[in-house]
Amino acid sequence: VTDAVDAAFRNSAPQWFRARTTHEYDVVRQRVGRDVALERARILDFGCGELPVAAASFALRHPASSVTGCDVLALNARVLESSLREHAGQPVPSNLQVLQAPPNGFRWTGEPFDLVYSWSVFEHIPSADIRTNFALIRDCLAPGGVFFFQIGGLYFHTSGSHLGSVFPDEPWHHLTRSLDELESVVMSQPMAQDARLRLWRQFVELNRLTAEDFLDAAADAGLVLQSHENLRDKAHAPPARLLRSHTLDALVTSEIRAVFRAA
């Protein structure tokens, strides 16, 4: 690890930037660092976002690696450049390339990847397309390569709606309130109308799959599970009415982290 770069990320002031440049890297390294030589690896960030600071953080820490990011959204190159410069004093690294592909449309013709990771992506993919996207990832893994899969906001958890900022003190709001009530609270938020609409659209598009559903779909696509961990949040006790219609495990499982290899 390039120590000065790592320190610049860890000491950066904005919480969002510090989190995106340290948390993903730390978790991925901890889970796959023994299987993949990150110092000299071909890495894909699948669903890197329009502002791929996490992918940039891998590339800047490991200048002899090559990092590719892909997303259905276009890269916001101007804000990526200014964020890296202002918050960490770093340039956009030359070993990072970012590609845009339509849903289900990522086709990789380059050298296969030693590591693919996806972070908070698959809950946003329609359930009918989940297997296809796992297969796209399987197809671009090198022999012996690994896929690290993470979702931090599983749907049935307290704030699996991704509306936690709107309902900060109301766990499981999305399972206890009517859609009409949820929509009217979102639409009365003090924010620009297009931001309200984006937030609402993101909620209604969530695929509502559980950790087990994702593991099944990955296996179906030919990915072989090496290890996995479900993180459970026991801070809140689910209301009795939800326990009549949902399993306790689905209601408290907030995050899944799994490592796969191609079959």
Ligand X SMILES: C[S@@+](CC[C@H](N)C(=O)[O-])C[C@H]1O[C@@H](n2cnc3c(N)ncnc32)[C@H](O)[C@@H]1O
Chain residues in the site for ligand X (CB under 6 A)? 20, 47-49, 54, 71-73, 103, 119-121, 124-125, 133
Q: CB-wise, 101 or 243, nearer to ligand X?
A: 101
Q: CB 134 → ligand X: shortest distance, Å? A: 11
Q: CB-wise, 81 or 242, nearer to ligand X?
A: 81
CA distances to 28, 49, 91, 184 from 76, rounded to whole Å, are 24, 9, 15, 31
CA distance 56 to 67: 8
Count of CB atoms situated within 10 Å of the CB of 199: 18
Residue 184 CA to chain centroid, in angstroms? 28
Q: CB-wise, 103 or 239, nearer to ligand X?
A: 103
Place of tokens 């109301």: 170
Q: Are 68 and 39 in contact (CB under 8 A)?
A: no
Q: CB-wise, 90 or 238, nearer to ligand X?
A: 90
Q: CB 248 → ligand X: shortest distance, Å? A: 26
Q: CB-wise, 49 or 171, nearer to ligand X?
A: 49
56's tokens: 């940039």
Planar angle of CA 171, 185, 17, nearest 5 degrees: 65
Q: CB 99 → ligand X: shortest distance, Å? A: 10
Count of CB atoms situated within 10 Å of the CB of 28: 24
Q: CB 21 → ligand X: shortest distance, Å? A: 10
By DSSP bridging, strand 66-71 and strand 113-119 are: unpaired
Q: CB 211 → ligand X: shortest distance, Å? A: 17
